[in-house]
Amino acid sequence: MESLSGSCRFGLWHIQVWWNGDVVHRVRFSKESLAGIVPVAITRYLAGKATDLGSLRSAAIEEDFQYFRIYREVQKIPYGSTSTYGEIAGKLFTSPRLVGLAMKRNPTPLLVPCHRVVAKDGPGGFTPDIRIKEDLQAMERKTLKKAGRIDGNGRFT
C-alpha cells in the first residue's frame, strides 16, 4: 500500500502526518505546510468535531517494544481528561521519568495523546511548543462543554 503524507492546520501550526491505510507512522507539529492529505479522522478531531480518531492506529504501538506499554496506557486517558506522569508510571510499575521520555519520543502524538499527560504541578513538557499541548487540552474541554458532557467548572456530567 502506498504511503501518504500531508498536513492540516491547528491554530498557528501545521500538523504533518505520514500514514498508509489506517496506520499512522508519524505526526509532527511544524510551522511549515506539507503538501498532501491527512486522514479525515485527524482533521475532524482537530476541528473539535470528533472525540476520537476512529479506526486509525499508531505504528508506534505495534513497532516500539521499549515504550508500547506506556503508549497503550496513555491511549486509555479519556478525551478531555489528563493523567500525571506519576499516575501512568504507578499503573505500569515504572518511573515517571521513563513515562516522560516515552512521551518525548512519541512519534504519533494525537494517536498516543501525550498532550493528556501532565506533571503533578503543571503542564509538563511538549515539543515543539507547550502552547500546542495547552491548545489541544482546551479544544477537548470546549468540545465536551459544547456537547454538554462537561460543566462550567470543568467536571464531567
| Residue 29 C-alpha from the chain's centroid | 11
Q: Where are the beta strands (DSSP E) in the chain?
A: 4-10, 13-20, 23-30, 57-58, 83-84, 117-118
In b/e form, how buried is each residue of 24-39, taking b as 16+ CB within 10 angstroms? bbebbbeeeebeeebb
Clarify whether 114 is annotated catalytic: yes
- How far is 91 from 109, CA to CA, in rounded Å? 21
Q: CA gyration radius for the chain?
A: 15
Catalytic residue among 53, 114, 132, 150: 114
Q: What are the phi and psi torsion angles at 144 (to 5°)? A: -65, -40
Amino acid letter for position 2: E
Q: Which residues are catalytic?
A: 114
